[in-house]
Structures are given as structure tokens and as C-alpha cells.
């Protein structure tokens, strides 16, 4: 038992000596001032002097840079697209039957008669349906038609469209605002 106690005492003394040896002060390997200078250069390559930084969130430096670059690229892209759209709007390369330029108010539907349809046949057809030509023909050969009674309902327009489409000599019949 005495032997065990001696061993324990020796072990404890050895541990204490190890702890004390490891806790001894050591001269530093590196120079704090030089290290700090390098750190500050890393943080702000343009200004190594430690001082108050302009207000910004640390940790977002590279991220903010990338985001800013992305925003610039996006802005340039949007500008190019916007300019392209404006140019297209300013000088359209085509014209639709549903939106001809300079069309007078009151046009309820448009037609494109076949070339074989004679003028008197067309007039007779429109007169029978209580329709009259108010514009055209445009470059596509379309005429704008209005109902004689100004307060035409949607159902009335639809009925006229159906009647015209059923009539011979009509290439295209469409209500204003698109097909119904």
C-alpha cells in the first residue's frame, strides 16, 4: 500500500511539474505590430493605417462587391433591353389587323373581303347587316366596319361577325379586340 501511495505522490508531483512547465511564459514567435500591419493591409489594401473605418458591415466585403457588380451588369442589361423595346415600339416592323394606325372611333369589326367580291355585292351584304365601312382599306386590305346603331352590344357584334363569316367572299372577319 505504501508503494501505491508513493506512486500516486510521484505521479501527482510529475503532473504538477508538467503543468508548471507548460504554464511558463514564453517569448513570442511573431511580432504583433508587423502582424497587425499586415492584417490592416488585408482588410483595406488602400489604407493600412488602423483607424475608424467608414460605416460598413464586416463580413460582407467581398459579397457586397460581387452584388454591386451584379447590380451594375443587371442595370446595363435592362438598359439595353429597354432601349431595344423602345426602338421596337417607335418603329414597328409590322401592323396587325387588330390595331391599325389611325383607325377612327366606333369601329366594331374588321373584314378582309376576297378580291373576287365585287363592290356592289359587298355593299349589299353590309347594308343587309346594318353595317357601314368607316375605314380602310389599309395596307392589308382590311376595312373597319361600324354598326349603324352606336350602342351595339357585344352580342350584336358577335351576331354580325357570325353572319359575315357565313357569307361568301369573306377572307377574314374579326371583332375589334380580338376573336370572340
Partner 1 sequence: MPLLSLIRARPAAVPQGDADEAALLHRIALGERAALESLYRGYHRRLDRFLARLTRRADVVEEVINDTFWIVWQKAGDFRGDSRVSTWILGIAWRCALKTLREHGDEPADPADAADALHALDDPHARHELADWVAKGMRRLTAEQRATMELAYGAGHSLDEVAQIMDCELSTVKARMFHARAKLRQVLPMLAGMPAVRHSGRAGRQENDDEA
Binding residue for partner 1, selected from 57, 89, 150, 155, defined by CB under 8 A: 57
Instruction: Report the residue from 6, 7, 14, 77 that binds partner 1 according to the rule CB under 8 A.
Output: 14
Q: Is residue 118 at the binding interface for partner 1, with CB under 8 A as the rule?
A: no
Q: Please identify, using beta-carbon distances, which residue of 58 and 102 lies nearer to partner 1.
A: 58
Considering only 6, 7, 8, 36, the residue that binds partner 1 (CB under 8 A) is 36
CA angle 151, 104, 169 (to 5 degrees): 80
Whole-number minimum distance, CB 83 to partner 1, in Å?
39
**Residues 123/93, Cβ–Cβ less than 8 Å:** no
Figure out which of the listed residues 4, 5, 30, 149 binds partner 1, where binding follows CB under 8 A: 30
Q: Can you tell me the distance from the alpha carbon of 78 to that of 100, in angstroms, rounded to the nearest whole number? A: 29
- The 3-state DSSP class for residue 171 equals strand
Nearer to partner 1, 39 or 75 (CB): 39
Peptide bond into 137 cis (omega under 30): yes
Cα gap 147→126, rounded to integer Å: 10
Does position 19 interact with partner 1 (CB under 8 A)? The reply is yes
109's enclosing H/E stretch is: strand 109-113
Piece of 58-66, 106-114, 122-130, 165-173 that binds partner 1 (CB under 8 A) = 58-66
Q: Give yes or no for residue 23 binding partner 1 (CB under 8 A).
A: yes
Identify the burial level of 129 via C-beta atoms within 10 angstroms of its C-beta, where 0-12 means exposed, 13-18 middle and 19 or more buried: middle
Q: Is 66 in the site for partner 1 (CB under 8 A)?
A: no
SS3 readout for 112-149: EECCCCCHHHHHHHHHHCCEEEEECCCCCCCEEEEECC
Tell me: does residue 59 bind partner 1 (CB under 8 A): yes
CB of 17 to partner 1, least distance (A): 5
Q: Is 35 in the site for partner 1 (CB under 8 A)?
A: yes
Binding site for partner 1 (CB under 8 A): 10, 13-30, 32, 34-36, 38-40, 42-44, 50-59, 61
Amino acid at each position: 500500500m505504501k508503494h501505491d501511495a508513493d506512486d500516486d505522490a510521484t505521479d501527482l508531483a510529475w503532473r504538477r511539474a508538467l503543468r508548471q512547465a507548460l504554464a511558463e511564459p514564453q517569448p513570442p514567435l511573431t511580432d504583433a505590430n508587423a502582424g497587425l500591419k499586415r492584417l490592416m493591409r488585408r482588410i483595406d489594401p488602400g489604407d493600412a493605417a488602423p483607424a475608424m473605418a467608414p460605416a460598413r458591415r464586416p463580413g460582407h466585403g467581398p459579397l457586397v462587391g460581387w452584388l454591386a457588380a451584379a447590380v451594375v451588369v443587371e442595370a446595363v442589361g435592362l438598359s439595353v433591353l429597354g432601349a431595344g423595346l423602345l426602338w421596337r415600339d417607335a418603329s414597328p416592323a409590322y401592323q396587325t389587323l387588330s390595331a391599325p394606325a389611325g383607325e377612327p372611333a366606333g369601329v366594331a369589326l374588321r373584314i378582309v373581303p376576297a378580291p373576287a367580291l365585287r363592290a356592289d355585292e359587298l355593299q349589299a351584304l353590309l347594308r343587309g347587316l346594318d353595317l357601314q365601312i368607316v375605314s380602310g382599306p389599309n395596307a392589308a386590305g382590311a376595312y373597319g366596319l361600324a354598326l349603324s346603331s352606336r350602342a351595339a352590344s357585344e352580342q350584336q357584334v358577335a351576331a354580325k361577325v357570325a353572319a359575315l363569316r357565313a357569307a361568301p367572299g369573306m377572307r377574314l372577319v374579326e371583332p375589334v379586340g380580338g376573336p370572340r
